[in-house]
Every structure is written in structure tokens, then in C-alpha cells.
């Protein structure tokens, strides 16, 4: 039986464990590739483990960071599409 809040181990409350399988699959592939090939991603996961996070929690944090970067790029692209283009240059 889980203990009350503030006593005992931390209990994570998650709304949706499954989520979108395609997005989760892509995030996992990006995570694995970045940790293997990019020093900054490897350093990020290393910092999380140094903060006494488990490997699983470090992986989850890195995927969350990746998702935030991706969604910000999507928002910028959408805002760019919504702004009308400037006037065309005059040609004679």
C-alpha cells in the first residue's frame, strides 16, 4: 500500500502511461542515438544520474527535454506560417 504524501518513497502520478506510441518510439530512437553520438546528451544523462536519478529517470528526463525542443520548433514553424509575408519588391 502506498504511503501518504511526504512519507516514504516518492510516488509518481502519471495521467497516461502509453501516450502516442509513434511519438514515444521516435523520442526513444532520438534519445538512444543522441546518447550514443552526442557528448552534450551523454553529459545531460550523466548529470541526472549524478543527481541520484536512476538510469530510467535520467532517460525519461532526456526524452522530456527532447519533446520540449521539438514542440517549441513546431510552435515557431506554425507562427511563421501564420504571419503574412511582407510586400513584394517592385519590379519595373
pLDDT tens digits along 14-63? 556 567 888 889 999 999 999 999 999 999 999 999 999 999 999 999 99
Asked if residue 44 lies in contact with residue 65, where contact means CB atoms within 8 angstroms, the answer is yes
Higher pLDDT, 6 or 59: 59
pTM reported for the whole predicted model? 0.68
**Helices (H), ranges, 1-92:** 21-37, 39-50, 55-82
Q: How buried is 62 (Cβ within 10 angstroms: 0-12 exposed, 13-18 middle, 19+ buried)?
A: buried
Amino acid at each position: 500500500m502506498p504511503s501518504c504524501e511526504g512519507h516514504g518513497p516518492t510516488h509518481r502520478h502519471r495521467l497516461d502511461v502509453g501516450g502516442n506510441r509513434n511519438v514515444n518510439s521516435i523520442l526513444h530512437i532520438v534519445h538512444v542515438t543522441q546518447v550514443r553520438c552526442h557528448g552534450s546528451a551523454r553529459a545531460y544523462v550523466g548529470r541526472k544520474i549524478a543527481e541520484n536519478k536512476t538510469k530510467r529517470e535520467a532517460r525519461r528526463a532526456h526524452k522530456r527535454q527532447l519533446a520540449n525542443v521539438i514542440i517549441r520548433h513546431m510552435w515557431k514553424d506554425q507562427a511563421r506560417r501564420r504571419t503574412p509575408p511582407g510586400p513584394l519588391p517592385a519590379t519595373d
